[in-house]
Amino acid sequence: MTRRLSVIGLGKLGVPMAVLFAHKGFSVIGVDVHSALIESLNRKQCPIYEPGVPELLESLRGTLTATDDYKYAIQNSEVSFIVVPTPSEENGGFATKYVEAAAERIAGNLKHKDDFHLIVLTSTVLPGATASLKDLLERISGKECGVDFGLCYSPEFIALGSVLQGLTNPDLVLIGESDPKSGEMLSQVYRHVCQNTPPIVRTNFCNAELAKILLNAYVTMKISFANIMAEMCEKIPGGDVNAVSHILGLDSRIGRKYLSGGLGFGGPCFPRDNRAVACSAQSLGMADRLARATDEVNRDQNARIVGVIKEKLGRLKGSAIAILGLTYKAQTDVVEESAAVEIAKILLGEGCRVSVYDPAGMDNARSTLGDGVKYASSAEECLRDTEFCLLATPWEEFKTLRAEAFTKNMKRPALLDCWRIFDRSEFSERLEYLAIGLSSSHNSR
Ligand SMILES: NC(=O)c1ccc[n+]([C@@H]2O[C@H](COP(=O)([O-])OP(=O)(O)OC[C@H]3O[C@@H](n4cnc5c(N)ncnc54)[C@H](O)[C@@H]3O)[C@@H](O)[C@H]2O)c1
């Protein structure tokens, strides 16, 4: 059984993987190019925001070391996971320059290693990229894939905020393998890490590559569908997206997940994976209508929300607006492509005075939104003297707010609850309460 692993790329996904592997009894070497990250991990200080990971790291007993030394990592591990960034390119594809840089360093060190070594590409790539990686590894190492070393493409389907849960209890494990020995070696690692017994699907590189981006594109399509459903509910007296999504979700062909209706999707994966599907379809000479429509509906959502605010206030210029929640979802500090941040930018452009508060995303938001907004240190401070509040991220902290927090602090209390986290009857009595997916004239039967 494989006992020694290396994880190349210690970011939002690499750190939880490395820490969890070590927690599960593997001897783990983490590799990164940033010395601050390495030092922080070696001091057992978690360099990323991810629930549960700092505690797990602190309780580890010396099975995780971090370094920038590829030679040490390759010589002292049997399996290397590549978890480096694959940023989006102009045309929607993924750049593989970091993957190639890591692979070149791995291959250079494979030259001097006699034992079989398995390389696992975890970073998200487009179809065809793993086969190119195989060529690169063979060329530089002078060794044969499937004989001297193995290669798997094994993407993760985790969601930030619940990465440990996603890694230990996945719905499926996907392995695109160069050869059966490599696939089996990796399956053994996963069987040891998973607390459930997920199906382990073993296939070739391109099916795994296609499945990864198509799965995310399907989920984003469902979110855009749910957002259209929510808008329809708002326009029909008595319409309530909670009721409609509950009904649709009971059908086993559909299911309840990602069907809530709310703000558009964001974050580091969904928008770009969806655009990558459009890019792949186009490069295959196919119409890319579906992925593009998903993306369009998603982007329109932000303008729609701004339209709701404008209609309610009668104007935007000069109005004071509070935004509660900036991260693209709760339980993360990531604001990349977050709807809340995009809406804040539009409001600023329209001449609004915007105050913002988020339990975890303030530092990241600062670098995107700059000095143009007021950064509050609490929800109540954020609401102070504003005339409209956008509840944009459903953090637990916001669910405990009572109607008084709004009536006491706001000039003219009006609220758009994008995730319907507040009690409608309680809030409607005390302030002007709007919610995505609820028609303004509510009749329960
Ligand atoms: N974050 C997610 O939710 C998620 C989910 C599924 C898949 N992915 C995929 O995983 C990959 C990594 O994503 P992430 O969010 O962890 O990225 P990240 O930007 O948070 O971290 C990547 C890390 O790789 C390091 N790095 C870059 N080049 C390197 C090199 N040559 N050698 C060693 N380290 C290097 C960086 O310093 C950084 O610490 C991406 O392809 C992403 O699409 C991410």
Is residue 334 assigned to a domain? yes
Average pLDDT score over residue span 21-40: 97
- Please, are residues 273 and 124 in contact by the beta-carbon 8 Å criterion? yes
Quote the ligand 1 centre to 32 CA distance (angstroms): 10
Average pLDDT score over residue span 102-106: 98
* 158 and 288 within one domain: no
What is the position in ligand 1's atom list of the atom closest to the CA of 272?
A: 43
* 359 and 251 within one domain: yes
Average pLDDT score over residue span 422-435: 95
Q: Whose CA is closest to 418, among 438, 401, 404?
A: 438
Quote the ligand 1 centre to 14 CA distance (angstroms): 7
Residue of the CA atom closest to atom 4 of ligand 1: 13
* 161 and 281 within one domain: no
* 164 and 40 within one domain: yes
Residue of the CA atom closest to atom 31 of ligand 1: 102
CB under 8 Å to 44, separation ≥6 — which residues? Answer: 57, 58, 60
CB under 8 Å to 317, separation ≥6 — which residues? Answer: 350, 351, 352
Is residue 275 assigned to a domain? yes
* 246 and 198 within one domain: no
Is residue 440 assigned to a domain? no
Quote the ligand 1 centre to 141 CA distance (angstroms): 24
Residue 445 pLDDT exceeds 80: no
Average pLDDT score over residue span 191-206: 97
Domain edge (last residue) among 203, 220, 252: 203
* 158 and 250 within one domain: no
Structural domain containing residue 378: 239-435
Per the rule left: phi > 0, alpha: psi between -120 and 50, beta: everything else, 105 is alpha
- Please, are residues 125 and 156 in contact by the beta-carbon 8 Å criterion? no
Quote the ligand 1 centre to 99 CA distance (angstroms): 9
Backbone φ, ψ for residue 345 (5° rounding): -65, -45
How confident is the model over 78-93, as pLDDT tens digits? 999 999 999 999 999 9
Is residue 24 assigned to a domain? yes
Residue 441 pLDDT exceeds 90: no
Average pLDDT score over residue span 416-435: 96
Residue of the CA atom closest to atom 38 of ligand 1: 11
In the three-class reduction of DSSP (H, G, I as helix; E, B as strand; rest coil), residue 353 is classed as: strand
- Please, are residues 120 and 87 in contact by the beta-carbon 8 Å criterion? no
216 lines ligand 1 (CB under 6 A): no
The residue whose CB lies within 8 Å of the most ligand 1 atoms, and thus the one to mutate among 20, 84, 327, 328, is 84
Average pLDDT score over residue span 194-213: 97
31 lines ligand 1 (CB under 6 A): yes
Domain edge (last residue) among 181, 203, 225: 203
- Please, are residues 190 and 156 in contact by the beta-carbon 8 Å criterion? no
Residue 421 pLDDT exceeds 50: yes
269 lines ligand 1 (CB under 6 A): yes
Residue 249 pLDDT exceeds 50: yes
Average pLDDT score over residue span 399-428: 96
Quote the ligand 1 centre to 284 CA distance (angstroms): 27
Backbone φ, ψ for residue 296 (5° rounding): -65, -45
346: confidence class by pLDDT, cuts 50, 70, 90 = very high
- Please, are residues 127 and 209 in contact by the beta-carbon 8 Å criterion? yes
Is residue 12 assigned to a domain? yes
* 160 and 51 within one domain: yes
169: confidence class by pLDDT, cuts 50, 70, 90 = very high
Q: How far is CA 197 from CA 26, 180, 200, 362, in A?
A: 19, 20, 9, 38
Residue of the CA atom closest to atom 25 of ligand 1: 9
CATH number at residue 162: 3.40.50.720
Note the maximum CA span of the chain.
74
Residue 101 pLDDT exceeds 60: yes
Is residue 87 assigned to a domain? yes
Span of 22-31, 157-166, 287-296, 321-330 with lowest mean pLDDT:
287-296
* 342 and 196 within one domain: no
- Please, are residues 155 and 273 in contact by the beta-carbon 8 Å criterion? no
Average pLDDT score over residue span 215-223: 97
- Please, are residues 378 and 403 in contact by the beta-carbon 8 Å criterion? no
Residue 342 pLDDT exceeds 90: yes
Average pLDDT score over residue span 240-256: 97
123 lines ligand 1 (CB under 6 A): yes
The domain tally of the chain equals 2
Residue of the CA atom closest to atom 13 of ligand 1: 85
262 lines ligand 1 (CB under 6 A): no
Is residue 390 assigned to a domain? yes
288: confidence class by pLDDT, cuts 50, 70, 90 = confident
218 lines ligand 1 (CB under 6 A): no
Quote the ligand 1 centre to 286 CA distance (angstroms): 30
Domain edge (last residue) among 203, 221, 249: 203
Residue of the CA atom closest to atom 20 of ligand 1: 11
- Please, are residues 173 and 197 in contact by the beta-carbon 8 Å criterion? no
* 91 and 37 within one domain: yes
Sheet holding 374-375, edge to edge: 374-375, 353-357, 320-324, 388-391, 414-417, 432-435
Share of the chain above pLDDT 70, in %: 99
* 400 and 341 within one domain: yes
Quote the ligand 1 centre to 50 CA distance (angstroms): 14
In the three-class reduction of DSSP (H, G, I as helix; E, B as strand; rest coil), residue 347 is classed as: helix
10 Å CB burial of residue 260 (0-12, 13-18, 19+) is: buried
Per the rule left: phi > 0, alpha: psi between -120 and 50, beta: everything else, 256 is alpha
* 291 and 170 within one domain: no
Residue 442 pLDDT exceeds 80: no
Residue of the CA atom closest to atom 21 of ligand 1: 11
Rounded CA-CA distance 59/233 in Å is 49
Annotation marks residue 206 as catalytic:
no
| pTM of the predicted protein model | 0.95
Share of the chain above pLDDT 90, in %: 97
Crossing angle (nearest 10°) for helices 205-235 and 289-313: 30
Is residue 215 assigned to a domain? no
* 169 and 256 within one domain: no
Bridge partner residues of 151 (DSSP): 119
Rounded CA-CA distance 333/41 in Å is 19
Given 152, 269, 389, 418, the catalytic residue: 269
Over its C-alpha atoms, the chain yields an Rg (Å, rounded) of 24
Would you state the pLDDT for residue 444? 42
How confident is the model over 45-98, as pLDDT tens digits? 999 999 999 999 999 987 999 999 999 999 999 999 999 999 999 999 999 999
Backbone φ, ψ for residue 50 (5° rounding): -160, 115
